[in-house]
């Protein structure tokens, strides 16, 4: 039996396993520090209260049992990899492998150079932090209902895809509440800031303009070319002297690859992502792959691919195919991937998208995004149901 170990049950890890299971004579083990798969692409709805926890956290043990040949699941944090002896260490146990797939994703990168930022802000890359943020948002609404008349300032720092989605969904919910539970809600202000000249930096001007218009209609204040200098207990200070009062801050300004358990000779970029060869292996170790957000994947034009669930899944499919080809003694080609499309939810039933080089906005985009998410979710759900029945 060929032993394959996958570290990380995120978008990349799960897709890799789906594709590896049909390969004959392999034994698969999934290791995750959490007992659940976290659907972080849906977190904006959870924070704003439009999605429930079971749409976000999926039991990995049931999922693993849901295959005709069950996948072994170990819910422990990997602390070390020994590539020479092909061992993964969790501190509690040592797991041998013939092939290893590192799919440990990324966490929010709170730059150390910004004093007070980590201490005073929330991230959304971990369910625990998203939970805190969700409760804080719900508590604010409750305070307003109880008659609190203070002005509440919510700052979303980082206007990339996730920051824009979180700001838009919260603002949309506030507009909805305003109609039903009164004007007190008007005293909750949302500001979205970014150091770049525009929101959604790097995207097509049509998408940027459409998102700006939507956010303005939702009463979100946009502040671009705004560099955070420091954060204290009451104010977010911008370079240049301006200070913004805040009640709470969510930081969506960047990510850092989760790779601290890898040996020193594994090359990394400045944000902790593992450098990979065109075959997505670690240089010098043909039996170790890295996929998804933890990998610094360079496209055919020499540019790094953005950290998205889409790339995590594509890189996972490629690696599973490569392993299958190797076991059959077949030739393999380098990984080549591009982003097929991009969907951004902008509060309520509204979204913007780029698909096959064309750009769209409106309700249709929202429903298309919803269908894609539902298909993903249903696939996982069916597997969990099957595993849950076996375990009971």
Ligand X SMILES: Cc1cc2nc3c(=O)[nH]c(=O)nc-3n(C[C@H](O)[C@H](O)[C@H](O)COP(=O)(O)OP(=O)(O)OC[C@H]3O[C@@H](n4cnc5c(N)ncnc54)[C@H](O)[C@@H]3O)c2cc1C
- Contacting residues toward ligand X, per CB under 6 A: 7-13, 31-34, 38, 40-41, 43-44, 77-78, 103-105, 124-125, 161-162, 165-166, 258, 261, 292-294, 307-310, 312, 343
Pairing state between β 255-257 and 106-108: antiparallel
How many C-beta neighbours within 10 Å does residue 181 have? 12
Residue nearest to ligand X (CB): 10
71 closest CA partner among 29, 18, 37: 29
Nearer to ligand X, 103 or 159 (CB): 103
Nearer to ligand X, 116 or 292 (CB): 292
- Supply the minimum distance, in Å, between the C-beta of residue 40 and ligand X: 4
15 closest CA partner among 378, 313, 376: 313
Residue found under tokens 């202000």: 189
- Supply the minimum distance, in Å, between the C-beta of residue 295 and ligand X: 8
Angle at 184 between CA 187 and CA 348, to 5 degrees: 80
Question: Which letter does DSSP use for residue 224 in this model?
Answer: -
Angle, helices 309-327 vs 11-20, to 10°: value is 30
User: How many DSSP H helices and E strands does the chain contain?
Assistant: 9, 26
- Supply the minimum distance, in Å, between the C-beta of residue 289 and ligand X: 12
- Supply the minimum distance, in Å, between the C-beta of residue 376 and ligand X: 10
31 closest CA partner among 76, 88, 69, 70: 76
- Supply the minimum distance, in Å, between the C-beta of residue 361 and ligand X: 15
Q: What's the rounded Cα separation, in Å, for the pair 337 and 334? A: 10
Nearer to ligand X, 56 or 323 (CB): 56
Nearer to ligand X, 78 or 174 (CB): 78
- Supply the minimum distance, in Å, between the C-beta of residue 7 and ligand X: 5
- Supply the minimum distance, in Å, between the C-beta of residue 251 and ligand X: 11
Q: What's the rounded Cα separation, in Å, for the pair 20 and 151? A: 53
Cα atoms in the 13 Å half-sphere on the side-chain side of 250: 31
- Supply the minimum distance, in Å, between the C-beta of residue 359 and ligand X: 16
276 closest CA partner among 286, 29, 69, 84: 286
- Supply the minimum distance, in Å, between the C-beta of residue 17 and ligand X: 11
CA trace torsion 44, 211, 300, 280 (10° rounding): -10
Q: What's the rounded Cα separation, in Å, for the pair 41 and 339? A: 16
Nearer to ligand X, 186 or 260 (CB): 260
3-state secondary structure of 80: strand
How many C-beta neighbours within 10 Å does residue 79 have? 13
Residue 176 to residues 135, 295, 390: CA-CA distances in angstroms?
18, 40, 43
- Supply the minimum distance, in Å, between the C-beta of residue 179 and ligand X: 26
CA trace torsion 171, 204, 227, 128 (10° rounding): 50
- Supply the minimum distance, in Å, between the C-beta of residue 377 and ligand X: 13
316 closest CA partner among 23, 29, 27, 19: 19
Nearer to ligand X, 33 or 326 (CB): 33
């Amino acid at each position: 039996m060929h032993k394959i170990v996958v570290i990380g049950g995120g978008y990349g890890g799960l897709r890799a396993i789906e594709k590896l299971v049909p390969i004959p004579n392999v034994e698969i083990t999934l290791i995750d520090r959490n007992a659940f798969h976290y659907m972080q692409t849906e977190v904006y709805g959870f924070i704003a209260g439009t999605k429930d926890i079971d749409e976000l956290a999926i039991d990995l043990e049931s999922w693993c049992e849901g295959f005709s040949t069950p996948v072994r699941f170990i819910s422990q944090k990997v602390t070390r990899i020994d590539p020479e002896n092909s061992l993964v260490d969790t501190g509690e146990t040592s797991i041998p492998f013939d092939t290893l797939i590192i799919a440990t994703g990324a966490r929010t990168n709170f730059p150390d150079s910004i004093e007070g930022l980590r201490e005073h802000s929330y991230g959304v890359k971990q369910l625990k932090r998203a939970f805190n943020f969700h409760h804080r948002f719900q508590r604010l609404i409750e305070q307003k209902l109880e008659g609190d008349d203070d002005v509440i300032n919510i700052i979303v720092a980082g206007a990339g895809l996730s920051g824009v989605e979180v700001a838009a969904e919260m603002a949309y919910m506030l507009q909805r509440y305003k109609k039903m539970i009164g004007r007190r809600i008007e005293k909750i202000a949302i500001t979205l800031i970014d150091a770049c000249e525009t929101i959604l930096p790097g995207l097509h001007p049509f998408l940027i303009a459409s998102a700006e218009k939507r956010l303005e209609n939702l009463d979100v204040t946009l502040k671009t070319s705004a560099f955070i200098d420091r954060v204290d207990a009451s104010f977010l200070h911008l370079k240049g002297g301006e200070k913004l009062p805040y009640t709470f801050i969510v930081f969506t300004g960047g990510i850092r690859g989760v790779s601290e358990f890898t040996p020193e000779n594994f090359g990394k970029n400045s944000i902790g992502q593992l450098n990979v060869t065109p075959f997505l292996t670690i240089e010098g170790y043909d039996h170790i792959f890295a996929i998804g957000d933890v990998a610094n994947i360079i496209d055919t034009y020499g540019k790094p691919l953005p950290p998205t669930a889409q790339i995590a899944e594509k890189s996972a499919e490629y690696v599973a195919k490569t392993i299958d080809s190797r076991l059959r003694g077949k030739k393999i080609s380098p990984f080549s991937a591009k982003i097929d499309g991009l969907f951004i939810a902008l509060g309520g039933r509204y979204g913007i998208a780029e698909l096959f080089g064309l750009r769209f906005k409106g309700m249709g985009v929202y429903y298309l995004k919803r269908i894609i998410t539902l298909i993903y979710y249903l696939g996982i759900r069916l597997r969990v149901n099957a595993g849950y029945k076996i375990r009971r």
